[in-house]
Amino acid sequence: MRVLENLEPKAVFHFFEDLTGIPRPSYHEKAVSDYLVKFAKDRNLEVYQDDLFNVIIIKEASEGYENVEPIILQGHMDMVCEKNPGVEKDMEKEGLDLEIDGDYIRAKGTTLGGDDGIAVAYALALLDSDTLKHPRLEFVCTVSEEVGMDGAHAIDLSPLKGHLLLNMDSEDEGIVLAGCAGGGSANIRRPLIREEKDWDRMMIHIDGLAGGHSGTEINKGRASSVDLMGRVLRGLSAVTKLRVVALENGTKDNAISREGRVVIAVQSREAAAAELEKICSAVQSEYSVVDPDIRITAEDPAGYPEDISGLDPLAKKDSKAVISLLTALPQGIRRMSDNVPGMVETSLNWGVASAAGDVFTMRAAVRSSVGTAKEALFEQVGWIAKSYGASMEITGEYPAWEWVDQSVLRDKMARIYREMFGRDLVIQTIHAGVECGLLSEKIPGMDAISMGPDILDIHTPNEHLSISSVQRMWDFIVRIIETK
């Protein structure tokens, strides 16, 4: 029995459940891309699939709408794959386990992929309908949005005729986006030298953090396990000599890191354990309101995910460099916007850190709505990295999506929303990245808006999608499309 089969709108939840059964982490989208192509071919729709597995599906206008401006529907097919400790699901090979919790849909122990599976489900339901009155619909579904918008960078939009873009990659009902920050990833790499050191070993485990989206939730003051790892290591270094053996922390640069482990060799295990208790107590007190479940514990190194029993500690200089990089590189909000009250202008999030074998790596999502501020932050990170013998590479850069004063689509949506719900539609810009900026560069004069239903705690295993909000936003989308 399908879990969502009794939910409304039936077509939307039918396709959404199909999608949750297809593993679709970034860079592993072939299966879901082929599903979309089959969907189109089964309905005799025009379809394009490129070498990256981006897909475009086109449905010609219904009778009476032939001369109405086409509408581009847009979303991405990949999802952030995060899971709770102890969950054994292989998210590259297995579908999700859905459950209904009151008004919400969740996936047991993992991210749900509502970001951006719900956009794909909306688009498929629209394309599948034989009662919808519509202009030409052009569905653009991209790959690898969550890791640098690779699909949007590469996709060929020449089959499209439309200039009105309805992106469905937002997560707040009643709030639509008309601009977003630009960004990219900072990738730090430093070679390591190891040497034998016969000291006691201990593993420090940081977990229980709330995490969250590194764009939309960077302003909530939540802790980062990468940042805390630097704090722990420099604190322990003050009371005993130590060397880093191995560390792993976080999995995605666009998710605030929730868990990390580091194995260290220490001259005085007792001094390290006593200091760790002090640090843990201080951190738990500082974050008691916004991140109340933080745990920092000393554990048996045998609990490290990999066998490192034969791995020597880092040399003194290299161990110090790793701790220094974890400490010196900035984390979180760098500047708030002067133009939009309450909005973050510039930030970065170190979502991944790893010391394995002979190399130390870190990766951050860098975001800013001001291009020069973004470049300055990249320069700062590169300068700090070089100071400690590391190099920096910038990948996955994407432009800001700039606000435009005149928007036919925005005005139409505001009018319809007021008629349907009796209140004003909130129109704003956002600190997170949206593909509209890249797509707008490919189609001059594009008029774009981003919207979506309520999805909470995206990029975390607590992600949940509001059923009632999906229904209301479906009704809204249908009205937008059917209104000439």
How would DSSP label each residue in 216-274?
Answer: TTGGG----HHHHHHHHHHHHHTTS-EEEEEEEE-S-TTEE---EEEEEEES-HHHHHH
- Reference 67, options 135, 4, 8, 124; nearest CA is 135
Q: How far apart are CA 418 and CA 65, in angstroms?
A: 24
Cα radius of gyration rounded to whole Å, the chain? 24
Q: How far apart are CA 397 and CA 367, in angstroms?
A: 10
Burial of 354 (C-beta count, 10 Å sphere; 0-12/13-18/19+):
middle
How would DSSP label each residue in 120-172?
Answer: HHHHHHHHH-SS---S-EEEEEES-GGGT-HHHHH---TT----EEEE-----
Q: How far is CA 312 from CA 245, 308, 357, 448, 467, in A?
A: 7, 8, 10, 54, 52
Q: Is 78 a catalytic residue?
A: yes
The catalytic position among 145, 435, 454, 457 is 145
Q: How far apart are CA 288 and CA 192, in angstroms?
A: 37
- What 3-state DSSP class applies to 434? coil
- Reference 462, options 209, 226, 219; nearest CA is 209
Q: Is 475 a catalytic residue?
A: no
Structure tokens at 156: 């060929």
Q: Are 246 and 355 a contacting pair, CB within 8 Å?
A: yes
What single letter denotes the amino acid at residue 231?
A: R
Expressed in percent and rounded to 5, the helix, strand and coil fractions of the chain are 30, 30, 40
Beta-strand pair 200-207/295-299: antiparallel
What single letter denotes the amino acid at residue 26?
A: S
The catalytic position among 78, 248, 435, 463 is 78
Catalytically annotated residues = 78, 145
